[in-house]
Structure 1
């Protein structure tokens, strides 16, 4: 990252710090940074690096090379913004400028020396249909992966400045708290960031994505076509829902977030769920294929199944939707049916 970019990010961060509750000023700064983020997908990573340095650098770098560059940047800030009082702790600014010169070294060594690999090796774990698996990440964070889902993470996750993982499908996370190294989940074009908390992400392809928080605090933003949205912050018993285009997020309060992770115990909970999605959930849980002679468009189902057999589930759906079904090995054929 060049010095000009770092200066822009520092201006943004310092202006936000000095806004002191000025909503209009904060919105102006947010608009500027969103426009900057939309110009290049790489800007998101640069901003994350700047935020990490701003929030978590606790001592100036030992190397003396930053001093001359810091004086140059400091002088330009004074010349270009004489009306602004920029309240930067000197070691923060020093660390940021030094990062502009030797970012790759500082980013990983400012807290402790770590061996860096030129190429990051990624590990992928998958849960087969009909299976729920438990995974312990290298940083001691724990994940329960729902059937039909997969998670990818760097082999050196515990040494990374940002603990980044990629999810396809659904998973429950119990993240080990580490303020120095935020934990970030990329799933279906949404981005979830935490320090240490427990939450569920449902991000099946072709459906609305949801992030539900059980403990702690979570920041969720959408990333559509390289454009990062402003984050919304979730507390326990709240969830964020992304529309199908993942361009908009909205927050919902819920009675009990634990219902979102019933699948860990084999439970199925449907609350006005489209029947198509109900069938997909059954396919994943019971490792079957469901073929229906109609689409059940605009038809929704509310039901709760406490780890019962597939046949019992189908009997309940039969009474609710007036369907007929036959089972041939791992394939279920459904005929007829109507919405109530």
Structure 2
């Protein structure tokens, strides 16, 4: 279950289930979100803002420029925001406006207003990308056998792997969008700039972020994007014009990865083979579980690794765990837990699905 009590405006805008409810009017989804609104009445205003932003964007996505989007966001936040007399008032400064606007841009329903050259002539080759750019470009090639640090005009840092190359505009200030073209492998640490999203074009795949760290690796047959921090949105370049399709864009969070097959143009989401701890366990005991209910065990793993774990809480209600874990990799921990309680698991669409017949 997601922590809706911690959701802010950006979280609702980027929540795929919430977006589908707003845009497709599914009755089951409507019942669910009405229930959520009832459980968290303090979220009613922010949910209303998110709904109106999504509906406004949906109606006008082909006409709105980035500046128009900010104006619409500002208007909606002002018109639906709480009154001054209400406690815990949101202050809708330019920062909040920027966050909301960038969330709409990053979540993928605005792909159609992306780079004009890519819309007109989507290419799948690095040289073709670069040759079509209309601004002065700088290319960096790593001929060494070690990673090379490259500082971009906005302060973002790229760790460029051997035998790899990137091209980017000499000055990002001349272009609202920060765009990098990659051949090979690179790890990006992107400076946050909500008004100027960051794009990486690599072998038929577009990766879009606002500020985060992630790895992009290209081979002859695949492109891999692995997220270490923040949120990343990826889309096959062939689908840029297909902006009304909700199934072509993937949102990635830390420890999730996307794999794009250049042979059959298929894009899939999974989990990193070696997920990293995003935070430390809250208690000193860490991963030492002494007769802990299984829901607390899974909650700890979810929080530390940021990976959703889906299971039937009713079936596993009586399951508990008595085991001492420490520095084992994430999947080793899952193996031990599953074997201990007689369960199994699989990875699907960036989450762990646990199957169990229950415990006595």
Which is strand-richer, 1 or 2? 1
TM-score relative to the length of structure 2: 0.41
TM-score relative to the length of structure 1: 0.43
